[in-house]
């Protein structure tokens, strides 16, 4: 037995010695090969370094911030390149002196350079691997700023009136005895601008500044949403400034849930109002803002117009009079100056004449002045911008206006000359809104799908509309809380437009109103309307746009068929609408919206509406039949949104008809099954599409939908072989959502062949059998799905999820891990947002190796995943936590963890994690979280950390730097004595 053991030991030793000897011999034998490989990897590293350097120079030229680490990578690359080049020069010189052609003259030299070449290759390869994260991106995206963040400080040094008021406001804010400060003055005098300027100059005195617009129609919900976080922080003892802009009447601060009074002196309130009386009623320290005197108005006007008014003597004389006519109101000085700054001297003289005309006598004198002055800006607009301006005035005050609504109304009014298409109308509306925004007549919002009108500008717009200029005489009673609307029979004869939207109207005229010139009638969102009278309809035979969306379900009167001039008709939400054959006489109809109605059939008669550009019939749960030939007859259709969920047959034939529409640019197609869609449907020719496959209706929004591409699969079972033919659709759609699929166990490799690895935006919801996204434990199986994947010594060309930017996982009750495969095959370097909600069995999210590659992750939200203990884990059990390299989340700005009792930490390893972009962390209902992590966590931009104590409400910790482990007072409040964030 002993002899056998000794024999085995000898064999092992001999084998080891042989292996070692062969390794040393190979240094000599493969010296040329090793040197050649070094040259190749040197070339690859130099190529990567050049590409990155070009991107860095472009980013610097744009003023972008470079991602942390990229400059260090370039420096290290230069060093590695230099070392390799020095070695190759040395090796080349040695070859000249020590080798003859075809013979080796010096075995020692071969051994030396063969071994050194071999050892110099790995650093080059390793540095290339480290550089891959930077190849796609070397700079950071700038987070979307808030209203106070985008405000640019104004130069008020020589505007004494406003500078003086500014000083008084700041002094009052700094005075601890004054809690509420009120700025009052007439509309357009610059109250809001001063409030924003104050916030910029005193923000260092407060933990946070919150801004909300109150407006004439008080919305408690909106205000609470705007300032909700600030009010919570007041309750925690932090010093907060709240700005209430445009207060029309006394508001109850308690009703708005604003902590105020002797017990909350850490709350300072700055309000703006047109009324001194309002400031008095709210016990505010009053500061008046007056119009600018002549000299200061001229200074501001010159800044807007430019040096031209100083160098042209004739223009200067006229311009000074124009500025004087603006009444010292900054809003109008800026608006008029922007309109005229590029105009001829003749236009200036005409403008001066108009400004010198008397204002309407039947309005408030101050509003009358505003009318005359701001109307000038309107007069210089082109017709399309004028139309959009007046349409915006028909919406309620302080309303965010969906541009798509303006598109529909503009198409219906037929005032866009030479309109080519719906997309043409959309572009013209966008252009008009840009003009109005640049002129100060509309407000610029972060969400470009919407616009908004300043309340002062809206007042003037309504005056313009009510004056009947250019045959535009509009009555606007929108958003006023009306319960009835009963005008006299003849008092509206001259009106071209009426807006009653967003009221609570339950009574309409049961008599005929004489409305011979009415073009547009907007009564949407009056959900208490029991009846739409026959008499009212009879009086508006010339109407072109009728919007009755979301008005409850009043029966449509028979007289509706008399509206033969209609171009846009919106009946959305009317469940009592069953038969639409009554619309057959509306031959001019271009837009018909019958979403969420009770229609049972799209009858043969609708095929006669050959001028239709857009048809919407979504969420019509009783729609069982579409007459053959109807869709194909509508040959002018450009945009079709239709649900075939409940058709009793003929879905395939209907879609074939859809395919025949040569002018179609967008389709929202809702079908119960894949098989009803013909394989020849070319979705690629469309500008946008929304394809929904399933039986339940999805959320469907028209906002900015027509240029996007979505695919939603909501089905119990997916037949994978059949799904392959829509691979092109998946590739065309960067947004794909999979819901309620029972026979789905994983995404990859199960659906790898279907193109899901190319997705940029993926939502996976309520697929209860999914245990992981990637189940690649059997790599041979994966090999059969994609020929580019090989194991062993070969490489994978495309790592999994390499294109993914947005990942949303919810209600996956069997999900245990995100992937079952080696980390090296997962690349999430392009991931921007990750949301994980209600994944009860998930125990871990990122391994350290994958976390190091999350260079673009900006937002991380994990909620109600009861089994999760830590977000980052060490990978396999053999990994030594102490040896983990530091991690940098370069772009991560927001973290939210909610309602996970078992969550113990973000990462339990002893390492350094850097968060250079992190702004806020919110932790709610995570009672088991005793520490963020034992290592060092660097957060130079952190503004607050929110947490819920074991037996209390949410707590927010403020400051540009939060060191919770030193904040004993905060610990006592939170009652989490062991919580250690160690954020520095």
Strands 240-247 vs 208-215: parallel, antiparallel or unpaired: parallel
Q: pLDDT value at position 144?
A: 42
Of 482, 587, 586, the C-alpha closest to 537 is 586
Cα pseudo-dihedral 681, 682, 683, 686, rounded to 10? -130
Residue 593: beta bridge partners? 570, 616
Percent of the chain with pLDDT over 90: 29
Count of CB atoms within 10 A of residue 484's CB? Answer: 11
Q: pLDDT value at position 976?
A: 29
The burial class, CB within 10 Å (0-12 / 13-18 / 19+), for 726 is buried
Please report where in the chains the tokens 């390893």 appear, as a residue: 909
Tell me what the mean pLDDT of segment 818-829 comes to: 84
516-527 pLDDT tens trace: 999 999 999 998
Q: pLDDT value at position 938?
A: 87
d(CA 130, CA 370): 62
Q: Identify the architecture of domain 160-288 in CATH.
A: 3-Layer(aba) Sandwich (3.40)
CB 545 within 8 A of CB 409: yes
771-795 pLDDT tens trace: 888 887 654 554 444 444 443 334 4
**What backbone torsions phi and psi does residue 84 show, to the nearest 5 degrees?**
-65, -40
Q: What are the residue ranges spanned by the domains of the chain?
A: 17-140, 160-288, 300-380
d(CA 104, CA 28): 10
Tell me what the mean pLDDT of segment 414-427 comes to: 93
* 269-302 exposure pattern, b = at least 16 Cβ within 10 A, e = fewer: bbbbbbbeebbeebebbbbebebbeeebbbebbb
CB 296 within 8 A of CB 161: yes
d(CA 435, CA 23): 74
72's CB contacts (< 8 A; 6+ apart) are none
Q: pLDDT value at position 445?
A: 82
d(CA 139, CA 856): 10
Of 725, 774, 767, the C-alpha closest to 749 is 774
Using alpha carbons only, what angle is made at residue 390 by residues 583 and 361, rounded to the nearest 5 degrees?
A: 125
Which helix (H) or strand (E) segment is 284 a member of?
none
d(CA 495, CA 501): 17
646's CB contacts (< 8 A; 6+ apart) are 621, 622, 623, 624
CB 409 within 8 A of CB 395: no
Q: pLDDT value at position 952?
A: 32
For 436-509, strand residue ranges (E) read 450-451, 474-476, 497-499
DSSP string over 117-137: HHHHHHHHHHHHHHHHHHHS-
Of 522, 386, 400, the C-alpha closest to 465 is 386
* Both tokens assigned to 713: 């699969």
Of 499, 572, 508, the C-alpha closest to 538 is 508
Q: How much of the chain is helix, strand and coil, in % rounded to 5?
A: 40, 15, 45
Q: Can you list the alpha helix ranges (DSSP code H) found in 765-913?
A: 779-785, 848-851
732-751 pLDDT tens trace: 777 788 888 877 777 776 66
d(CA 49, CA 463): 63
Whether residue 260 has pLDDT greater than 70: yes
Whether residue 755 has pLDDT greater than 80: no
Tell me what the mean pLDDT of segment 83-93 comes to: 74
d(CA 963, CA 984): 6
590-629 pLDDT tens trace: 999 999 999 999 999 999 999 999 999 998 989 999 999 9
922-952 pLDDT tens trace: 888 888 887 888 888 888 877 656 543 323 3
d(CA 412, CA 892): 46
Of 824, 769, 819, the C-alpha closest to 791 is 824
Tally DSSP H helices, then E strands, for the chain: 27, 39
The burial class, CB within 10 Å (0-12 / 13-18 / 19+), for 221 is exposed
| DSSP 8-class letter at 925 | S
Highest mean pLDDT among 348-357, 661-670, 721-730, 971-980: 661-670
Calculate the alpha carbon distances from 429 to 221, 236, 344, 433, 711 in Å.
30, 46, 27, 6, 28
Whether residue 832 has pLDDT greater than 90: yes
652-701 pLDDT tens trace: 899 999 999 999 999 988 888 877 888 778 887 888 888 888 877 666 65
Q: pLDDT value at position 330?
A: 86
**Confidence category of residue 393, pLDDT binned at 50, 70, 90:** very high
Of 820, 801, 889, 803, the C-alpha closest to 852 is 889
Whether residue 583 has pLDDT greater than 50: yes
d(CA 288, CA 273): 10
Whether residue 879 has pLDDT greater than 80: no
What Rg, from alpha-carbon coordinates, does the chain have? 35
* Both tokens assigned to 558: 């028979």
Calculate the alpha carbon distances from 572 to 425, 521, 522, 592, 820 in Å.
22, 15, 13, 10, 47
Q: pLDDT value at position 402?
A: 94
Count of CB atoms within 10 A of residue 791's CB? Answer: 13
Q: Can you list the alpha helix ranges (DSSP code H) found in 136-275?
A: 147-150, 160-174, 191-202, 220-235
Coil, strand or helix: which one is 903?
Answer: coil
Highest mean pLDDT among 229-233, 331-335, 357-361, 629-633: 629-633
Q: pLDDT value at position 256?
A: 86
Q: pLDDT value at position 627?
A: 93
The burial class, CB within 10 Å (0-12 / 13-18 / 19+), for 758 is middle
DSSP string over 290-325: PPPPHHHHHHHHHHHH-THHHH-HHHHHHHHHHHHH
Please report where in the chains the tokens 């996204």 appear, as a residue: 773
Please report where in the chains the tokens 């026959």 appear, as a residue: 534
Percent of the chain with pLDDT over 70: 79
How many CA atoms are closer than 13 Å to the CA of 591, on its beta-carbon side? 24
Who wins on pLDDT, 372 or 966?
Answer: 372
941's CB contacts (< 8 A; 6+ apart) are 916, 917, 918, 919, 960
* Both tokens assigned to 464: 């313009």
280-329 pLDDT tens trace: 889 999 998 888 888 888 988 988 888 888 888 899 999 998 888 887 88
By mean pLDDT, which of 188-197, 271-280, 390-399, 948-957 is the weakest? 948-957
d(CA 888, CA 852): 7
Of 854, 852, 848, the C-alpha closest to 829 is 854
Please report where in the chains the tokens 């999914």 appear, as a residue: 770
Coil, strand or helix: which one is 564?
Answer: coil
* Both tokens assigned to 164: 């003086």
For residue 749, cis peptide bond before it (omega within 30 degrees of 0): yes
Tell me what the mean pLDDT of segment 530-544 comes to: 90
């Amino acid at each position: 037995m002993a002899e056998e053991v000794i024999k085995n030991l000898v064999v092992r030793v001999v084998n080891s010695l042989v292996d070692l000897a062969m390794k040393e011999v190979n240094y000599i034998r493969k010296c040329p090969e090793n040197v050649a490989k070094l040259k190749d990897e040197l070339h690859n590293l130099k190529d990567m370094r050049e590409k990155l350097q070009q991107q860095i120079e472009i980013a610097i030229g744009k003023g972008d911030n470079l991602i942390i680490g990229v400059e260090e990578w370039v420096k290290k690359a230069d060093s590695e390149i230099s070392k390799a080049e020095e070695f190759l020069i040395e090796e080349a010189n040695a070859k000249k002196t020590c080798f003859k052609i075809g013979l080796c003259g010096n075995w020692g030299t071969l051994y030396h350079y063969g071994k050194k070449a071999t050892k110099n290759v790995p650093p080059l390869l390793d540095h290339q691997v480290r550089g891959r994260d930077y190849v796609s991106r070397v700079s950071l995206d700038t987070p979307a700023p808030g209203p106070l963040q985008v405000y640019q400080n104004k130069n008020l040094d020589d505007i004494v009136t406003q500078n003086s008021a500014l000083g008084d406001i700041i002094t009052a804010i700094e005075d601890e005895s004054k809690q509420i400060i009120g700025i009052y003055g007439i509309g357009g005098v610059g109250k809001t601008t001063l409030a924003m300027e104050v916030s910029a100059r005193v923000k260092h005195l407060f933990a946070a500044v919150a801004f909300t617009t109150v407006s004439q129609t008080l919305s408690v919900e909106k205000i609470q949403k705007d300032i909700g976080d600030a009010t919570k922080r007041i309750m925690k003892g932090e010093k907060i400034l709240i700005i209430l802009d445009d207060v029309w009447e006394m508001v109850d601060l308690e009703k708005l849930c604003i902590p105020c009074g002797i017990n909350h002196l850490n709350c300072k309130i700055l309000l703006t109002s047109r009324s001194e009386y309002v400031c008095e009623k709210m016990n505010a320290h009053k500061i008046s803002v007056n119009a600018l005197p002549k000299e200061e108005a001229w200074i501001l006007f010159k800044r807007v117009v430019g040096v031209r008014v100083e160098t042209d003597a004739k223009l200067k004389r006229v311009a000074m009079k124009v500025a004087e006519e603006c009444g010292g109101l900054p809003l109008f000085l800026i608006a008029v100056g922007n309109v005229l700054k590029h105009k001829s001297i003749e236009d200036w003289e005409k403008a001066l004449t108009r400004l010198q005309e008397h204002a309407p006598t039947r309005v408030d004198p101050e509003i009358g002045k505003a009318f005359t002055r701001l109307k000038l800006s309107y007069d210089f607009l082109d017709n399309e911008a004028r139309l959009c301006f007046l349409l915006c005035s028909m919406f309620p005050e302080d309303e965010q206006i969906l541009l798509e609504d303006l598109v529909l109304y503009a198409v219906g009014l037929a005032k866009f000359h030479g309109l080519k298409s719906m997309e043409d109308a959309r572009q013209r509306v966008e252009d008009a809104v840009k003009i109005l925004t640049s002129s100060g007549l509309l407000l610029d919002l972060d969400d470009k799908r919407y616009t908004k009108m300043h309340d002062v500008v809206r007042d003037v717009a309504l005056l313009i509309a009510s004056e009947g200029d250019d045959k535009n005489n509009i009555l606007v009673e929108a958003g006023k809380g009306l319960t009835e609307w009963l005008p006299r029979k003849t008092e509206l004869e001259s009106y071209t437009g009426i807006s009653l939207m967003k009221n609570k109207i339950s009574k309409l005229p049961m008599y005929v109103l004489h409305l011979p010139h009415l073009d547009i009638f907007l009564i949407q969102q009056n959900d208490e309307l029991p009846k739409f009278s026959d008499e009212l309809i009879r009086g508006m035979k010339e109407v072109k746009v009728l919007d009755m969306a979301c008005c409850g379900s009043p029966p449509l009167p028979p007289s509706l068929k008399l509206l033969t001039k209609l171009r846009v008709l919106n009946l959305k939400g009317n469940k009592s609408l069953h038969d639409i054959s009554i619309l057959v006489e509306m031959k001019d109809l271009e837009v018909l919206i019958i979403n969420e109605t009770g229609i049972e059939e799209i009858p043969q008669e609708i095929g006669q509406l050959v001028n239709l550009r857009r048809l919407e019939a979504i969420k019509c749960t009783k729609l069982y039949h579409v007459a053959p030939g109807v869709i194909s007859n509508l040959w002018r259709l450009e945009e079709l949104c239709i649900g075939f969920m409940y058709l009793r047959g003929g879905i395939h034939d209907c879609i074939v008809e859809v395919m025949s529409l040569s002018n179609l640019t967008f389709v929202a197609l809702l079908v119960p099954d894949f098989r009803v869609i013909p394989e020849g449907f070319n979705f690629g020719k469309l500008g946008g599409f929304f394809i929904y496959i399933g039986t339940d209706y999805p959320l469907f929004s028209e906002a900015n939908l027509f240029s996007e591409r979505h695919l939603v699969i909501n089905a119990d079972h997916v037949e994978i072989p059949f799904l392959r033919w829509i691979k092109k659709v998946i590739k065309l759609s960067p947004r794909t959502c999979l819901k309620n699929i029972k026979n789905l166990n994983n995404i990859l490799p199960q659906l790898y062949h279907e193109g899901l690895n190319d997705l940029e935006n993926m939502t996976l919801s309520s697929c209860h059998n999914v245990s992981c996204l990637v189940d690649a434990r059997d790599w041979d199986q994966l090999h059969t799905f994609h020929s580019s994947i090989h194991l062993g010594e070969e490489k994978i060309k495309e790592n999994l999820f390499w294109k993914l930017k947005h990942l949303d996982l919810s209600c996956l009750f069997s999900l245990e891990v995100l992937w079952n495969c080696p980390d090296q095959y997962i690349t999430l370097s392009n991931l921007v947002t990750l949301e994980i909600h209600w994944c009860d069995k998930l125990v871990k999210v990122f391994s350290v190796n994958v976390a190091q590659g999350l260079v673009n992750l900006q937002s991380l939200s994990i909620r109600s995943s009861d089994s999760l203990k830590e977000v980052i884990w060490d990978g396999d059990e053999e990994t030594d936590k102490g040896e983990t390299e530091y991690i940098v989340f370069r772009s991560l700005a927001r973290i939210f963890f909610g309602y996970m009792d078992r969550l113990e930490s973000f990462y339990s390893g002893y390492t350094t994690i850097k968060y250079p972009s992190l702004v806020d962390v919110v932790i709610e209902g995570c009672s088991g979280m005793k520490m963020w992590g034992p290592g060092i966590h660097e957060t130079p931009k952190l503004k607050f950390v929110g947490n819920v104590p074991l037996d209390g409400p949410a707590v927010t910790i403020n400051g540009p730097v939060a060191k919770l482990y030193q904040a004993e007072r905060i610990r006592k409040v939170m009652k989490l004595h062991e919580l250690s964030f160690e954020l520095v």
